[in-house]
Structure 1
Amino acid sequence: MAEHKHGEMDITVQEKTFNGFIRMVSRTAIVIVVALILLSLING
């Protein structure tokens, strides 16, 4: 088995995936909050 050396692995794909996931979750949360505000304003 090869020796593990900390910090050698290329993680650019994982970083892009994580950033995309965080962006999607943030946008979804904003859309939900806006939808709830609109519903509360419409229903009075």
Structure 2
Amino acid sequence: MADHSEVAYTTADGNDYIEHERTYEGFIMLVKYGTAAVATILILMAFFLV
């Protein structure tokens, strides 16, 4: 069987953790503002379409 004692991502060459963190922060910002936009649209629909 293969030896799986080492975690591959910590020993792999070429990992770019700075880019990973930047992408994650962008994703979190997109989710945050996307959720706020959808909530705003729903509130406006409830207000104007009733």
- Name the TM tier (shorter chain): 0.7 to 0.9
Tell me how far apart the structure 1 counterparts of residues 49 and 16 of structure 2 sit (CA, whole Å). 52
Give the root-mean-square deviation of aligned CA atoms: 2.0
Tell me how far apart the structure 1 counterparts of residues 16 and 48 of structure 2 sit (CA, whole Å). 50
- Which structure exhibits the higher relative contact order, with contacts defined as CA atoms closer than 8 Å and separated by 6 or more residues? 2
TM-score, normalisation: structure 2: 0.66
Using the aligned pairs only, state the percent identity: 28
Structure 1 moving runs of 4+ over 2 Å:
none
Tell me the matched-pair count.
39
Describe the SS at the equivalent of 1:30.
helix
The answer to whether residue 19 in structure 2 is matched with residue 13 in structure 1 is yes
What is aligned with 1:37? 43
